[in-house]
Amino acid sequence: MNEQVTGYWLATLLQPLVLLLAAPLLVGWIKRIKSRLQNRRGPAVMQPLRDLRKLFAKQPVVAKTASPLFRAAPYVVFASTLLAVTSVPLWSIWLPSTTVADVIVLVGLLGLGRFFLALAGMDVGTAFGGMGSSREMLVSALAEPAMLMAVFTLAMSAHSTNLSSIVAFNLDAGVVLRPSYLFALLGLILVAIAETGRIPVDNPATHLELTMIHEAMILEYSGRHLALMEWAAQLKLALYGLLIANLFFPWGLAERFTPLEGLGALALVGGKLLLLGALLAVAETTLAKMRLFRAPQFLNLAFLLTLLGLLSNVILESGL
């Protein structure tokens, strides 16, 4: 019994370390696939880790008009995102870090990081920062309700808002075709694209002032501050990938953690994330960046899909 408890706490401590390493590799994998699809050689999968190492080695340059909030924002954004992604089951369902948090805590942590990110964008007083913060608040105001609707659809079936309980319920239920889950999955995918700043809502590889959202808010950062912001964005992408992979396709997760089962579950989850990354790269290669004024329509579609999922779940569960 003591060995099992020790294994649970060891897995809990290792989970954030694994995610810190895996998140940049996931971004590197997506860039590599996109480069191959565009007939380019492209950067290595390890390139995001090398970029982070170089940024951490540089001294940050801070504007004279910046307040202490500007300096503290990267640490708050990074810490809140890391706590949020740690609350999602990675290789085992019943871990201390995943059983104490639910979807409300998850959305709250993401909202905390977004709040400080938007404040930091406006703090220096540049036009680009204020523009990016305004656009970020527009996207988040439309994306958060859709995300909550998607997870609440699953929570109504599991009778719990705890992520571990939802994963355990779906794992015990097996392969069951639920229209509500399909609507929730499609809506959550659209929310993930918007929240992580991917095409067609935003382009993470551009610095054009007419199109950028996330990049506009961190344009004044450099050195280790920029590294923390970039690392937080990579963790956020991994977080949504884990939500899609483990909430809707939980097969392979270990119910009782052992080193062998944990490694097997980690390999399966890694395969799911690689597949999702490849699909994202294909989608970004074939789709074009939409106009900013069409982003609300994109997110309204996500909210409509998740609302249909919630209503269909209510109808099917009540037997009407």
- The angle at the Cα of 156, spanning 150 to 158, to the nearest 5 degrees, equals 110
Task: Give the count of domains, the chain.
Answer: 1
Give the model's pLDDT for residue 80: 95
Upper half-sphere CA count for residue 312 (Cβ side, 13 Å): 16
**Tally of residues, the chain:** 320
Q: What is the mean pLDDT for each group of 10 consecutive residues in the chain (320 residues)?
A: 62 86 95 92 92 94 90 95 90 75 87 93 87 90 91 88 88 80 93 91 75 84 94 95 91 74 83 94 90 89 93 74
Upper half-sphere CA count for residue 81 (Cβ side, 13 Å): 29
Q: Which domain holds residue 157?
A: 2-318
Give the model's pLDDT for residue 7: 63
Listed as own residue / partner, the contacts of 257-266 with beta carbons closer than 8 Å and 24 or more positions apart are 257/4, 257/7, 257/8, 257/11, 257/91, 257/92, 257/94, 257/95, 258/7, 259/7, 261/92, 262/11, 262/91, 262/92, 263/91, 265/90, 265/91, 265/92, 266/18, 266/90, 266/91
Cis peptide before 200 (omega within 30 of 0): yes
Q: What are phi and psi of 92, to 5 degrees?
A: -140, 150
Give the model's pLDDT for residue 4: 57
Positive or negative, the CA dihedral 63, 67, 70, 71 is positive
Give the model's pLDDT for residue 320: 46
Give the model's pLDDT for residue 6: 66
**Residue whose entry in the numeric block shows the structure tokens 């699909």:** 279
